Amino acid sequence: MSFAGERAVAGRRLVGGGIALVIVAAGLTGCSAEPPDPTSATEALAAALTSGDFTKAPFAGGTADVTAATDIRTSAYEGLAPWEPTVTVVSTTVDEQDEDVATATLGFTWDVDDSDSDWTYETHAKLARDDEDVWHVTWSPALLAPDLVAGEVLGVERSRAERANVLGANGAVIVEPRRVHRVGIDKTRLAAPEQDAAARELARQLGVDADAYAAKVVGAGEKAFVEAITIRDGDTGYDIPVLVGLPGVIEVPDTLPLAPTRQFARPILGTVGPATAEIIEKSDGAVSAGDLAGLSGLQRQYDAQLRGLPGLTITAAQADGAAKRQLYAVEATPGTPLTTTLDVRLQEAAESVVATVGPANAIVALRPSTGDVLAAASGVGGEGMSTATLGQFAPGSTFKVVSALALLRSGLTADSDTTCPATVSVDGRSFSNFPEYPTDKLGTIPLRTAFAHSCNTAFISAREQANQDALIDAAGSLGLDPHATLGFPAFLGDVPADSDGTDHAASMIGQGRVLASPLGMATVAASVAKGSTVLPRLVVPAEGVTTPEPSEEDSAEPSETAPPAAPLTADEAATLKQLMRGVVTEGGATFLQDVPGDEVAAKTGTAQFGEAGNLQNHVWMIAIQGDLAVAVFVDVGEYGSTTAGPLLEQFLRAAQG
């Protein structure tokens, strides 16, 4: 039988690039080599449709078709950017009557959102084989999308999903839509020569940068509303009627996801506002201009969870919008609430305390039994930084809880004698106690007395019984893990591994290069209270939602990777709690004896910093009371007991309700 005769009686169907040959003639005694099938041509076409590079596409029209396909694909898909399709060959069927003709089915998949569902469809390509057995594709715009014709382009219409709330302990709503007033210049109300002066006057009234705002107004479109500030409803710091009485100024009512007050955990929760160009670019099409997005803090880190999925309608229409038809539609999916452990009452109490202090400061409260962060307030002196969770400061004598654990592990007990001289010299550097240290507590004293009165020289004199590795291990046992993964931007603490001599001596009293955050020192106190190592928890993971990485690189690099710390034992914690109780019964925190509720155990801390001759003090206090652990920090103060102490007492009394 001749080759031509065989072609006339054979039919083919190719599936997924494979080929099945059905011979319909009988009595064959032999046949020639199988001619080329369309597989390579259809696979090249699918690759070209995916990439947009048609230089190797097997078009019948050659260069002209390559140019047309490139231009039409670019214009047709431009409205869907940055999405791009993935195209595969579903099947290829050779005509049973004419095996020089074939039809390919192409499967398109567009990943248009973060859900498991994609926009999928099929198109069909016509192929023909020439006299040289080469398969060619007939170009058509319908290869790009169902029934697409010349001049049509694809576009997407979005409907915003309902942004979810941020919740606190026991499901209390923290962040929810609240009324705001957008105040700014309406350029349609002013002649062009008047706009600069009007913008400057509004900026002056608001206390914002006049040059920057005036430039923004002048540079906006001639009919633009140029917002200067968003004021939450009921904010008595602004007189909106006076502002809208200024030339060209209007207020636009709106809602924004907001916490109960402007200060409420703001550095941690972050803010929500119009999506920035950077956020839009990084969202892979999930966020578009005009959408609300988390701009900082947890609102940004968990933005995808909170914002949900927008409703999408993908259409094909002529470039002028005529003859629009729908190709795909999906309803908006509301966001999933972000649940935190913050206790609204305790957070508000902490906020009221830190608001009274000028320098950067913070209060952190944990529930030792669970590790839940109940409050984490940062004062305005931190200039928007979460001093509570990201601050990195020498913890001073609050670190003696760590040093005491290291000494206990070396064989000392609370009643072991220590030496507390007025000064101690290490490699030529002199260390002393704080200026008001009681002279009757110098000399040979038990460890519990050295701890209660915070004798620096006693801990430094015992440094050979607790080397730097022992301090690192004790710190880890008490929760100061520099490698902890918490699900939110945080720094707990870091003890350098390469300290010796005077640096190790300074480490014994929480100075030198030892660093901790208020969250870290609250974790130390919580570990003592619980009797085992505590890992703080602020965010409760939502079921089925992957915890995203923090959007900002806020965590400091630890000095080096340390081996896992030895677990804190109940007996060790009990002794540490006794030592901390001694600070209240006989040491520097006796003022806490009459705080209502369970008995309080505490530790004071002061850490010097700055240049010689102009030294200042970081001041600390940590405390435990029942199932509550608290750390108080003030960047610049007198002593832990005199500056941080009253703030701690105020918070503890408020916590009792």
Which CATH architecture describes the domain 3-153? Roll (3.10)
What's the predicted TM-score (pTM) here?
0.85
Give the tens place of pLDDT for each residue, 248-290. 999 999 999 999 999 999 999 999 999 999 999 998 888 988 8
8 Å CB contact between 434 and 454: yes
Query: Which residues, 6 or more positions from 558, have their beta carbon under 8 angstroms from its beta carbon?
Result: 482, 483, 494
8 Å CB contact between 511 and 556: no
Q: Cα dihedral sign for 257, 261, 264, 267? A: positive
What pLDDT is recorded for position 559? Answer: 55
Task: Kindly report the number of other CB atoms within 10 A of residue 123's CB atom.
Answer: 21
- Whose tokens are 């009988």? That residue is 26
- Secondary structure (3-state) at 217: helix
Residue 15 has pLDDT above 90, yes or no: no
Q: What percentage of the chain carries pLDDT values higher than 70?
A: 93
Q: How far is CA 657 from CA 117, 336, 346, 349, 621, in A?
A: 50, 32, 9, 10, 21
Lowest-pLDDT choice from 30-39, 406-415, 573-582? 30-39
- Whose tokens are 């540490």? That residue is 576
What is the spatial distance between Cα 494 and Cα 507, in angstroms, rounded to a whole number? 11
Q: What percentage of the chain carries pLDDT values higher than 90?
A: 86
8 Å CB contact between 232 and 158: no
Give the tens place of pLDDT for each residue, 488-513. 999 999 999 999 999 999 999 999 99
Q: How far is CA 207 from CA 106, 227, 229, 253, 382, in A?
A: 60, 14, 10, 21, 20
- Whose tokens are 């916490």? That residue is 259
What is the spatial distance between Cα 524 and Cα 493, in angstroms, rounded to a whole number? 10
* Cross-strand partners of 411: none
Cis peptide before 82 (omega within 30 of 0): yes
8 Å CB contact between 103 and 171: no
Torsion angle (degrees, nearest 10) of CA 292, 293, 296, 300: 150
Give the tens place of pLDDT for each residue, 615-641. 899 999 999 999 999 999 999 999 999
For the segment 437-450, the average pLDDT, to the nearest whole number, is 96
Residue 171 has pLDDT above 60, yes or no: yes
What is the spatial distance between Cα 90 and Cα 18, in angstroms, rounded to a whole number? 10
- Secondary structure (3-state) at 26: coil
8 Å CB contact between 509 and 432: no
What pLDDT is recorded for position 555? Answer: 46
Class of domain 344-540+560-655: alpha beta
Residue 562 has pLDDT above 70, yes or no: no
Q: At what angle do helices 570-585 and 518-530 cross, to 10 degrees?
A: 110
The three-point CA angle 130-62-120 to 5° equals 90
Q: Which CATH number fits domain 166-339: 3.90.1310, 3.30.565, 3.10.620, 3.30.70?
A: 3.90.1310
- Whose tokens are 């940590």? That residue is 622
What pLDDT is recorded for position 546? Answer: 83
Task: Kindly report the number of other CB atoms within 10 A of residue 100's CB atom.
Answer: 15
Residue 296 has pLDDT above 90, yes or no: yes
Q: At what angle do helices 400-409 and 570-585 cross, to 10 degrees?
A: 130
- Whose tokens are 């509570």? That residue is 388
Q: How confident is the model at residue 614 (pLDDT cuts 50, 70, 90)?
A: confident
Q: Where are the domains of the chain?
A: 3-153, 166-339, 344-540+560-655
Residue 13 has pLDDT above 90, yes or no: no
Give the tens place of pLDDT for each residue, 20-69. 333 333 334 444 556 788 999 999 999 999 999 999 999 999 999 999 99
